[in-house]
Amino acid sequence: MRRVTVTVLPVLLLALMGCSPGQATVSGTVALDGKPLEEGNIAFRPLPATASSEAIGGPIKDGKYEVKARPGLNRVEITATRIVPGKKDNFGTSLRQSIIPIRYNAQSELTKDISVGATKELNFELTSR
């Protein structure tokens, strides 16, 4: 019993601390039509996509981001919205509209290969056309 406790305890501590082996730090910039993306989100989804392949990502602020990603080939999904002036839903909340074309998010054409434990800089130049 003591041997099981000694073996399991370090694994549980790592899980509780949020330490995930086999991830890489990815950072860089995102621009839309030549201008830094003010606010948005970026996610890296492992490929091939399965029902259990969860994306990892984070915020983009002033065109910059830094997130963790799983190693291997990933689909990159970038999203951002803006308030539609003068438009409100039935609850009085301002309506938001995507400013990033679908080819960069829900149907993303962007893929990047991520190396284990590496810190990688990836910059994205998107166009709205």
- pLDDT at residue 1 above 70? no
- C-alpha 36: how far from its chain's center? 17
Question: How confident is the model over 86-106, as pLDDT tens digits?
Answer: 888 889 888 999 999 999 999
Domains and CATH numbers, the chain: 22-126 (2.60.40.10)
For 61-71, the pLDDT digits (tens) are 999 999 999 99
pTM of the model: 0.77
Q: Which residues of 1-129 form beta strands (DSSP E)?
A: 24-32, 35-36, 39-46, 56-61, 64-69, 72-79, 81-88, 94-98, 111-114, 119-121, 124-126
